[in-house]
Amino acid sequence: MSYLLLRTLTKKQEVDSIIRDTIDKVLVLRFGRSPDQACLLLDDVLAKSAREVSKFASIALVDIDSEDIQVYIKYFDISLIPSTVFFFNAHHMKMDSGTADHTKWVGVFRQKQDFIDVVEAIFRGAMKGKLIVNCPLPPDRIPKYQLLYKDI
Amino acid sequence: MAAAKSETIPNPSCTDPSKKDEKKRKKVSEFEYCKVCKLNHDQGQRHKYFPSHKKSLSIFFSKFQTKLSDVGFFLRNPSLLRSEHASRNRVWCVFCDMDIDELGSEFACENAINHLASADHMKNLKHFLWKYGGGMDFIDKFRIKEAEVAKWKKKCKSLKSEAESSNKAPDDIHNELNYVNTTSFNIDNTNIYSVNSRNSNSVMPLQCHTNEYQVSHSGLSEVANAGLYSADVASSSALETHSGTSSIDFSTGMPNITQIFVPEVAGGNVHTGAPPPWFDAIEESQLNVGPQPVLGSFLSSSNNSGKSKKLNPKRVGAAWAERRKMEMEMEKRGELVKKEFDANWLPNFGRVWQSGSRKESRKEFEFEKQNLSKVGSQPAEPVEILPYISKRIKSEERQPLSEVESQPAETVKIQPYISKRMEFELGKQKLAKVESEPAGPVKIQPYISKRMELQLEKQKLPKVESESAEPIKIQPYISKRMQRDGSK
C-alpha cells in the first residue's frame, strides 16, 4: 500500500516556508493533535487522497501542541480540532460551507471524494481570483459545530 | 442516341421492302462491356466509333502510356533492381489483363520489358485495337521491339559484370573515374549506384523518393513507383558522391528536378534521432541571456511540457507567485542567498471574529500581541468585577467633599442608599449644626408628619420661653374623637 506520509510541522519557520514555497497550488494545513481520534480520521483521508490532488494541492500537518505554533493558533482563531486551513499563493482562502466559521474547515471529511471536491472548489476559485468560495458538498456531509466566543 | 430500333415502318415508296427493311433494321445486339468506357452497351460494333468512346479511349491510352514510360526509361537505361523495391513494381497490362510482377527480376522493369516484347502481348494488343478502335500507330507505343530488347539485355549484362568487378576494388576511385570518362552516362549511373549500394543508408533513397513522388504525378501507379525508385536511386547516388549540382532529366512525364548537395550535418538528422536545430538554438539562448523577469516566466513556461501554461493573471496571489518564482529561480542558480525572512511574518488571513479587511485583522492581531507582551503574566481575573456605581455617585466623586472621609483612590466605598430628602436635610443640618454635631453618622430621626410639624411649630411659637430646651413630647396618637370624648 503506497501510504504517503504527510509532513508534520512543529515550528513556525517551517510553516512559514511551506506557505511561501507552495506556488500555484492549494496548500492544505491541518491543525490538530495526532493521537486525537478525529484527527486520525482526517489524517487518514488526507493521506489517501494526497496523491490524487498532488498536481494542484499539497498537504501538511501542523501539531498544535508545539510552542512555536501557538502564534498561529491565535492568529487563525483555532479553537476546535481538527481544523484545516487552505492557502493559495500565501493567501488564505475562505470557504462558505454553511457553518459559522468560513476561514477554516472544522472536523473530518466523510470520504476522500469530499476532500477532493473541496480542494478542487478552492483551486478553481483561486484560479479565478476569488478569495472565498462556496462549498460543493451537501449540508449533511459538513460537520456541524458550535463556535463559542472566548469560551463563554 | 440511336438505340436499337424496332423494325421500321415499311416505306410504301420502296420497291424492295424486304431489303430496305433489312438495311434499316438495326441489329439488336446483346449487352457488351466496353473496357475503355467502363460501361455496358448494346450498340455492338458501332460503339467504338462514338465520340464519347473515342474520348475515353484517348484518356485510357494516355494513362497506360505514362505507366509504360518508366519502362521505356529503363529500357534505355537499365539499372539493378533491389529486392526490397521489387514488390512495389507491378504493372497491369490492360491488353493482356494480367499483372506483371518484378519479383524474380534483377533489373528494374525486367519482366515488364520482356512482356511487352512478347508475342502474346502483341496478339492481345492487336485484338484490343480491333475491338476498341485505336489505330495502328498505337501498336508501336504499347510494345517493345525485339531489337530494343536485345540492346537492353546487352546493357544488363554489362551492368552485371561491372557490378561484380567493382565489388572487388571498392576504394578504387581511379577505376570509377575511368568509368565516368569512358562509359556512358548510364554506366556511370549504375556504377555510382553500385558504390552506393554498399555505402548507402537504407534510409537515404527514401528522402528523395518522397520528394520526387510529390513532384511527379500523384497516381499510385506501380510502374511509377518503379520509375521513382530508380530515379531516386540515381539521385541518391548523385547526392553522396557528386559534389556539385546536377540536373537529371528523367524520361518523359517527369519534370526536371535539381539535386542539391546536402552536406552532412554535424548534429545528425531526423533519422539518427538528433534533436531539431531550433531546439538547440533555444537552449543556447537560454544559457546566454542573463536573468530577466521576462526570461523567468519564459523559463518556467518552457519547462512545462506542451500545454500553454499562461496562468490566469487574475488568480489569487498572482503577484506574490511571480515574485516568489523569481526568487526561487535566483536561489536555485545561487545568485541570491536565501533570506531569513522575518520571524514575525504572518500570512494573509481574515480572522473569524473580526470584520473588515484582512490587513485590519492582522493589525488587530499584532496589537493584541503587543498588549499581551506588555502586561506580562496575566492576572488571575482578566477583568476586575466592580460593583455597580451609578452615574450620580460618580459625578459626586468628582466634586471634592472635604468633610467626607478620605477615600482610597482606587476603590469606591460602598455607601447605603440615601434618598434626596435625607440628603437635603443632611445638607441643612451640616450647615446649621456644624459645631454641635460630631462628624459621625447621621442621626436618624423618627418620622414626623407634616401635620405634626405644624402643630409643633405652633406649640413652639407661643411657648418659646417655657419650653426652651424641652424636647418635644411625643404624645401617643389620640384621635379627635377620643379627644372630644376625653374632654367631655
| DSSP tag of A17 | H
CATH number of the structural domain spanning residue A16: 3.40.30.10
| DSSP tag of B477 | P
Task: Specify if A55 maps to a domain.
Answer: yes
pLDDT at B10 over 70: no
Residues B380-435 have pLDDT tens digits of 444 556 667 667 766 666 555 444 444 444 455 566 676 777 777 777 776 665 54
pLDDT at A115 over 90: yes
Q: Does B318 touch chain A if contact means CB atoms closer than 8 Å?
A: yes
Total CB pairs under 8 A between chain A and B: 84
pLDDT at B207 over 60: no
Place of cell 498505337: B138
Strands (DSSP E) contained in B211-292 are: 246-248, 257-259
Q: Does A70 touch chain B if contact means CB atoms closer than 8 Å?
A: no
Number of domains composing chain A = 1
Task: Specify if A152 maps to a domain.
Answer: no
Q: Would you state the pLDDT for residue B234?
A: 45
Rounded to an integer, what distance in angstroms lies between the CA atom of residue B235 and that of residue B250?
A: 11
- Report residue A144: phi and psi, to 5°: -100, 145
Cα–Cα distances in angstroms (integers) from residue B174 to residues B166, B183, B199, in the given order? 11, 14, 18
Rounded to an integer, what distance in angstroms lies between the CA atom of residue B278 and that of residue B88?
A: 36
Residues B33-58 have pLDDT tens digits of 888 888 888 888 888 888 888 888 88
Place of cell 543508408: B201
Q: Does A19 touch chain B if contact means CB atoms closer than 8 Å?
A: yes
A98: left (phi over 0), alpha (psi -120 to 50) or beta: left
For residue A78, the enclosing domain spans: 2-141
Task: Specify if A150 maps to a domain.
Answer: no
Cα–Cα distances in angstroms (integers) from residue B480 to residues B342, B455, B460, in the given order? 96, 14, 21
The C-alpha cell at B423 is 440628603
The chain A residue lying nearest B327, using CA atoms, is: A21
Rounded to an integer, what distance in angstroms lies between the CA atom of residue B294 and that of residue A6?
A: 35
Task: Specify if A22 maps to a domain.
Answer: yes
Angstroms from A1 CA to nearest CA on chain B: 30
State the ipTM, two decimals: 0.70
Task: Specify if A66 maps to a domain.
Answer: yes
Interchain contact, B316 vs A88, CB within 8 Å: yes
Q: Which residue has the higher pLDDT, B207 or B384?
A: B384
Interchain contact, A16 vs B341, CB within 8 Å: yes
**pTM for this prediction:** 0.37
Residues B428-485 have pLDDT tens digits of 776 665 545 444 555 666 777 788 878 888 776 655 545 444 556 666 777 788 777 7
Tell me if B137 sits within 8 A of B116, measured CB to CB: no
Task: Specify if A146 maps to a domain.
Answer: no
Considering only CB atoms, which chain A residues are within 8 Å of B350?
Answer: 92, 94, 103, 131
Q: Which residue has the higher pLDDT, B445 or A97?
A: A97
Place of cell 539535386: B259
Task: Specify if A45 maps to a domain.
Answer: yes
Task: Specify if A70 maps to a domain.
Answer: yes
Rounded to an integer, what distance in angstroms lies between the CA atom of residue A56 and that of residue A122?
A: 10
Q: Does B341 touch chain A if contact means CB atoms closer than 8 Å?
A: yes
The chain B residue lying nearest A21, using CA atoms, is: B324
Rounded to an integer, what distance in angstroms lies between the CA atom of residue B185 and that of residue B194?
A: 14
Percent of chain B predicted with pLDDT > 70: 43
Q: Does A56 touch chain B if contact means CB atoms closer than 8 Å?
A: no
